């Protein structure tokens, strides 16, 4: 077990202060923290990142055991940290901050709080109620537990540039061991958590970081070389890049988003990946879309969603989400299905995907669309609810709809 150095522990507290009290995004905070001291090695960085994430995951549980509430003072954060350390079996350093930490009481409180799922798994009460009502108690129980585990790092090999064997070999030479994942032809898992962004293979565009569940989206759309595909919610382009690889760079991918800055990031990634058939276009008005009506062989709607399937990666979302926001997202998704489905040519295919596990954003959303006027031209071919507790990867939902015209 590693010795806890003051500057590492203080970095964790600083990070938590920003995330808990100032509502900053955990990934951004951690990224910045890790740049603080050049002398930190990979173990130090690992300690900071993993401790911050762990404490974000179990914020409610640790706060309850420590008897503190938001906004958290420095002393409160110190107490929560002590709870984390005791429960994880670390020996606390003999600093004045930890003097008198009631070790036995902490363990006793932990055992007593196991009764309440919302506290044990650290989610707001409204979210616990919504999950249980939507998925049923037993499934929600298992799913919530799975969503509190640390996610593995999964890569998607970019077949425009390399084969899985080449990527494995190149990463192995750089000291990173990987293994294929059965059922996911382009995926490799990192056997040990590490930062692979500095590797030669990454800089050369041989792979992207993309969860295995997310890698199921583009293949479901069955894009073929030469087709015209519209990725309507392209963001920074995780799926667009995958589509380009499946299309062997032939045909055209039109990547849309309401945020031009995300599309700029997509452009950069496409360049590194050697994906030349992606054109980006920010949606500035309804005219952008009108011109494209009936023009696509394939349409992907990778919709904005609650992100409840990816809590393993973004645990702070539990505390940022609000019930009104989930409702608003649900309305937006219905609008997107209604308008973006019009972009298809008769006979084309549409995939609607979310990284949520709530039926209200998924199955029910698609069912409502099929009942609506615009939905009359579509038939549901396949739908997949991917749970983290069953797949071992992110929670996702995918629906394939065929245009019957
Ligand atoms: C789940 S994310 C997309 C992730 C991306 N497809 C990827 O694979 O990396 C949803 C995206 O939808 C975008 N978005 C939100 N409202 C939109 C709208 N009305 N039309 C198009 N895109 C929208 C968001 O900016 C965000 O980038």
CA angle 125, 128, 130 (to 5 degrees): 110
Q: Are residues 111 and 200 in the same domain?
A: no
Q: Are residues 295 and 374 in the same domain?
A: yes
Atom of ligand 1 nearest to the CA of 234: 6
Q: Are residues 101 and 160 in the same domain?
A: no
CA distance 395 to 355: 6
**Quick one: pLDDT at residue 297?**
98
**Quick one: pLDDT at residue 75?**
96
**DSSP string covering 10-54, please?**
HHHHHHHIIIIIS---HHHHHHHHHTS-TT--HHHHHHHHHHHHH
Residue 304 near residue 331, CB atoms below 8 Å: no
**Quick one: pLDDT at residue 1?**
57
Q: Is position 138 within any domain? A: no
Q: Is position 144 within any domain? A: no
Work out the number of other CB atoms within 10 angstroms of the CB of residue 270: 22
Q: Are residues 74 and 175 in the same domain?
A: no
Ligand 1 pocket member 131 (CB < 6 A): no
**Quick one: pLDDT at residue 257?**
98
- Which of 98, 122, 146 is the endpoint of a domain? 122
**Quick one: pLDDT at residue 288?**
86
CATH of the domain at 189: 3.30.70.1170
Which residue, judged by its Cα, is nearest atom 4 of ligand 1? 235
In this prediction, residue 3 has a pLDDT band, given cuts at 50, 70 and 90, of confident
Tokens matching residue 333: 């998704």
Q: Are residues 194 and 222 in the same domain?
A: no
* Section 219-239 average pLDDT: 98
Q: Which range of residues forms the domain containing residue 308?
A: 214-403
Work out the number of other CB atoms within 10 angstroms of the CB of residue 56: 22
Q: Is position 364 within any domain? A: yes
ipTM, two decimals: 0.99
Q: Are residues 318 and 218 in the same domain?
A: yes
Q: Are residues 203 and 225 in the same domain?
A: no
CATH of the domain at 89: 1.10.940
Q: Is position 42 within any domain? A: yes
Ligand 1 pocket member 260 (CB < 6 A): no
For the chain, the domain total comes to 3
Catalytic residue status for 389: no
**Quick one: pLDDT at residue 2?**
65
Write out pLDDT tens, residues 81-93. 999 999 999 999 9
Residue numbers belonging to the annotated binding site for S-adenosyl-L-methionine: 257, 302
Q: Are residues 34 and 182 in the same domain?
A: no
CA angle 251, 253, 254 (to 5 degrees): 140
Residue 312 near residue 344, CB atoms below 8 Å: no
In this prediction, residue 4 has a pLDDT band, given cuts at 50, 70 and 90, of confident
Atom of ligand 1 nearest to the CA of 307: 1
Ligand 1 pocket member 304 (CB < 6 A): yes
**Distance from residue 331's CA to the centre of ligand 1 (Å):** 15
Q: Are residues 115 and 205 in the same domain?
A: no
Q: Are residues 198 and 240 in the same domain?
A: no
Write out pLDDT tens, residues 243-268. 999 999 999 999 999 999 999 999 99
Q: Are residues 222 and 281 in the same domain?
A: yes
């Amino acid at each position: 077990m590693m010795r806890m150095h003051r500057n590492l522990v203080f970095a964790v507290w600083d990070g938590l202060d920003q995330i808990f009290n100032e509502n900053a995004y955990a990934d951004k905070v951690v990224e910045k923290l890790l740049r603080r001291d050049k002398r930190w090695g990979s173990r130090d960085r690992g300690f900071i990142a993993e401790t911050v994430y762990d404490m974000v995951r179990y914020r409610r549980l640790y706060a309850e055991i420590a008897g503190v509430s938001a906004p958290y003072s420095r002393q409160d954060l110190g107490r929560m940290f002590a709870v984390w350390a005791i429960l994880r079996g670390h020996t606390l350093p003999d600093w004045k901050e930890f003097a008198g930490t009631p070790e036995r009481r902490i363990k006793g409180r932990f055992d007593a709080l196991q009764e309440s799922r919302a506290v044990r798994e650290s989610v707001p009460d409204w979210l616990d109620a919504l999950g249980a009502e939507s998925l049923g108690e037993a499934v929600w129980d298992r799913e919530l537990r799975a969503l509190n585990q640390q996610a593995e790092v999964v890569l998607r090999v970019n077949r425009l540039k390399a084969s899985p064997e080449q990527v494995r070999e190149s990463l192995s030479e750089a000291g990173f061991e990987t293994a294929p994942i059965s059922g996911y032809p382009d995926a490799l898992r990192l056997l040990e958590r590490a930062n692979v962004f500095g590797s030669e293979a990454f800089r050369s565009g041989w792979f992207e970081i993309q969860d295995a569940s997310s890698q199921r989206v583009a293949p479901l759309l069955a894009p073929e070389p030469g087709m015209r595909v519209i990725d309507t919610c392209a963001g920074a382009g995780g799926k667009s890049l995958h589509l380009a690889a499946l299309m062997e760079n032939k045909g055209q991918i039109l990547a849309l988003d309401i945020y031009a800055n995300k599309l700029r990031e997509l452009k950069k990634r496409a360049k590194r990946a050697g994906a030349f058939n992606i054109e980006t276009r920010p949606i500035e008005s309804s005219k952008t879309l009108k011109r494209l009506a009936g023009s696509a062989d394939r349409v992907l709607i990778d919709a904005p969603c609650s992100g409840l399937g990816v809590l393993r990666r973004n645990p702070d979302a539990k505390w940022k989400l609000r019930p009104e926001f989930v409702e608003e997202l649900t309305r937006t998704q219905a609008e997107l299905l209604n308008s973006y489905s019009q972009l298809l040519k008769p006979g084309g295919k549409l995939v609607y995907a979310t990284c949520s596990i709530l039926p209200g954003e998924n199955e029910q959303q698609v069912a409502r669309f099929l009942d609506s006027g615009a939905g009359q031209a579509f038939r549901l071919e396949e739908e997949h609810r991917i749970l983290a507790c069953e797949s071992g990867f992110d929670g996702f939902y995918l629906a394939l709809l065929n245009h019957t015209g």
